[in-house]
Amino acid sequence: MDIKCIAFDLDGTLLTSDKTIDERTKDSIQRAMKQGIHIIIASGRDKNGCKFVYEPLGLENGNHFLALVNGQIIYDFKNREYDLDNVLTEEDGLKIQKICKQFDIEGIFQCGYDFYSYVSTYNRMKKRIKSFLFKEPEDYGLKAGMEQRNFINLPYEPIKLTKDINKVIMVHSKSFFEKNLDKLKEALKDYDVLLIGPQWLEIMPKNVNKASAIKKITEKLNLNMDQVMAFGDAQNDIEMLKQVKIGVAMENAMDEVKKVSDLVTKSNDENGIGIVIDALLEGTLSI
């Protein structure tokens, strides 16, 4: 198979449950790199949130890429340059705040390294108590990994955010999303709405996704999507897995992700990625 580029989601895919890379997986990726295959980390995270992954893999030393914030931002290691796609506007921010109030849900507006939390006083207090009882950070760990990251509480009134909004995160319980996801998607029909985990929803500008970022990267490399393999587990991976030549879902992936994939490998805790890459390099991979 003429695969020249491999893309990986991070959480639930390349990263194990304890947020590390299996050494077997790391070895397989580095063998692929030695054979001239380009690597893309395709994540909802920002660049600094991926640093603990790309540094050990050695991506800075080759012609490799990051597709950040669900594909909104591309970082090119070889040329040390960024490419930014569409963002959410001030008006989008105000619309989404209204929907947060309508559904009584917390909205976190990501503007670069600033995360603005928009939630009622009552729910903020509930979150504080839960954080104290279960020793979980009130910022959901969004400040982790970089001193310049800020988590800022907004007043519960219409706030016009004058910075570009990269995405909006909605946080609530698993049972809430099971009951209200379809209603939320209808209310947010002007945007791409992606369930990343059972308690975590992300809102992106329409048609800005990991697939659109990978397509730009392949054009830059004089390749096409038929020369790409990708791995994922959640709704923000679906377009990527559908549009590449070989889309691989992890065993722990959401059912809708498995349905659109060409094959399903073992879980993120069982070297699922390494198994597929080894078969690809050995010429024994069958679809």
Specify the CATH number for the domain of residue 241: 3.40.50.1000
Between strands 65-68 and 73-76, the pairing is antiparallel
Q: Measured in Å, how far apart are the chain's first and last C-alpha atoms? A: 11
Output the pLDDT for position 231: 98
Residues 158 and 226 in one domain: no
Residue 118 lies in a domain: yes
Residues 97 and 199 in one domain: yes
Residues 64 and 102 in one domain: no
Residues 275 and 234 in one domain: yes
Residues 50 and 98 in one domain: no
- Read off the CATH number of the domain in which 136 is found: 3.30.1240.10
Residues 186 and 238 in one domain: no
Rounded to 10°, the helix 47-57/23-34 angle is 80
Residue 28 lies in a domain: yes
Contact between 105 and 141 under an 8 Å Cβ cutoff? The reply is: no
Contact between 277 and 32 under an 8 Å Cβ cutoff? The reply is: yes
Residue 76 lies in a domain: yes
Written as six digits, the tokens of 133 are 């009882």
Residue 287 lies in a domain: no
Contact between 240 and 209 under an 8 Å Cβ cutoff? The reply is: yes
pLDDT tens for 192-245 read 999 999 999 999 999 999 999 999 999 999 999 999 999 999 999 999 999 999
CA distance 237 to 202: 12
DSSP track, the chain: ----EEEE-TBTTTB-TTS---HHHHHHHHHHHHTT-EEEEE-SS-HHHHHHHHHHHTGGGTT-EEEEGGGTEEEETTTTEEEE---B-HHHHHHHHHHHHHHT-EEEEEETTEEEEE--HHHHHHHHHHHHHHT--TTTTTTTT-TT-EEEEPPSS-----S-B-EEEEE--HHHHHHHHHHHHHHTTTEEEEEEETTEEEEEETT-SHHHHHHHHHHHTT--GGGEEEEE-SGGGHHHHHHSSEEEE-TTS-HHHHHHSSEE---TTTTHHHHHHHHHHHT----
Residue 178 lies in a domain: yes
Between strands 65-68 and 38-42, the pairing is parallel
Q: Which domain holds residue 164?
A: 90-205
Output the pLDDT for position 148: 83
Mind listing the pLDDT tens digit of every residue in the chain (287 residues)? 699 999 999 999 999 999 999 999 999 999 999 999 999 999 999 999 999 999 999 999 999 999 999 999 999 999 999 999 999 999 999 999 999 999 999 999 999 999 999 999 999 999 999 899 999 899 999 988 777 899 999 999 999 999 999 999 999 999 999 999 999 999 999 999 999 999 999 999 999 999 999 999 999 999 999 999 999 999 999 999 999 999 999 999 999 999 999 999 999 999 999 999 999 999 999 88
Residue 246 lies in a domain: yes
* Final residue before a domain boundary, out of 148, 174, 205: 205
Residue 98 lies in a domain: yes
Contact between 234 and 285 under an 8 Å Cβ cutoff? The reply is: no
Written as six digits, the tokens of 106 are 């917390």
Output the pLDDT for position 147: 79
Residues 102 and 182 in one domain: yes
The tally of domains found in the chain comes to 2
CA distance 2 to 157: 54
Contact between 235 and 194 under an 8 Å Cβ cutoff? The reply is: yes
* Final residue before a domain boundary, out of 162, 188, 205: 205
Residue 225 lies in a domain: yes
* Final residue before a domain boundary, out of 137, 171, 205: 205
Contact between 70 and 194 under an 8 Å Cβ cutoff? The reply is: yes
CA distance 223 to 35: 16
Output the pLDDT for position 1: 67
Contact between 108 and 118 under an 8 Å Cβ cutoff? The reply is: yes
The position carrying tokens 């947010």 is 188
